[in-house]
Amino acid sequence: MSSPRAIIQILITGSQILGKAFWEAGRQAVKNAQYTPSAGMVGDVAGVSGATSGSVTDVLTRQHRMTLDEAHLILNTRKADPIPTVLQKYEHLFKQNSPAPPPEPGKPVPKVPPPHSHYLQSKVFRAMERIEAESKAPKDTPGAPPPAPPAGTAGPGAAPSAAGEAPKGDTSGS
């Protein structure tokens, strides 16, 4: 076998291999473009898409785009921890991820600045916001009846109150 013929055969074989590889890569790209992820994760944070009941907790989860469990994980706290403990952990994590203050004049500048992360600091801040929002939100209990209207807002057909008085606006004189 002559040298030019061997070189041509190597080039043809190599181009066939590359052609098949590009063909398969193109097929995979088409599959990836046509793939739609499950409905639970389309453009949403984990746990947020399931928050559709309209309860206070679900509304807060959608507003803050973070579940209460995620917020507690970020701050390394438990749900049962009191707010001062959570605040202490928040302050510690926030300070640890803050940039170092500028060095005082006359003191040597460290060669390697202490590490800090704006991303982590913002996550810590958002987690604390979520926990504070949950603690300030009115507590809702599943299956509880809706809150009664304030006194004095009963309509003309409302039943008398427990004291036996007629509702306001009832002029029937019974």
Has residue 128 been placed in a domain?
yes
Q: Kindly report the pTM of this predicted structure.
A: 0.49
Q: Where are the alpha helices (DSSP H) in the chain?
A: 3-34, 56-64, 68-75, 83-96, 118-136
Distance CA 166, CA 158 (A): 9
Range of the domain at 16: 9-39
Distance CA 69, CA 43 (A): 20
Distance CA 25, CA 38 (A): 24
Residues 130 and 82 reside in one and the same domain: yes
Distance CA 134, CA 60 (A): 7
Per the structure, the count of domains in the chain is 2
Main-chain dihedrals φ then ψ at residue 27, nearest 5 degrees:
-60, -40
| pLDDT score recorded for residue 154 | 47
Distance CA 139, CA 57 (A): 9
Residues 52 and 119 reside in one and the same domain: yes
Averaged pLDDT of the chain: 76
Q: Name which of 46-50, 56-60, 69-73, 169-173 the model is least confident about.
A: 169-173
Distance CA 23, CA 30 (A): 11
Residues 24 and 97 reside in one and the same domain: no
Residues 75 and 27 reside in one and the same domain: no
End-to-end Cα separation, the chain, in angstroms: 121
Residues 53 and 35 reside in one and the same domain: no
Q: Name which of 23-27, 119-123, 135-139 the model is least confident about.
A: 135-139
CB atoms within 10 A of CB 140: 13
Distance CA 92, CA 98 (A): 10
Residues 24 and 75 reside in one and the same domain: no
Residues 83 and 121 reside in one and the same domain: yes
Residues 71 and 26 reside in one and the same domain: no
Has residue 160 been placed in a domain?
no
pLDDT per position as a tens digit, 15-56 = 999 999 999 999 999 999 888 766 544 445 555 555 566 778
Has residue 155 been placed in a domain?
no
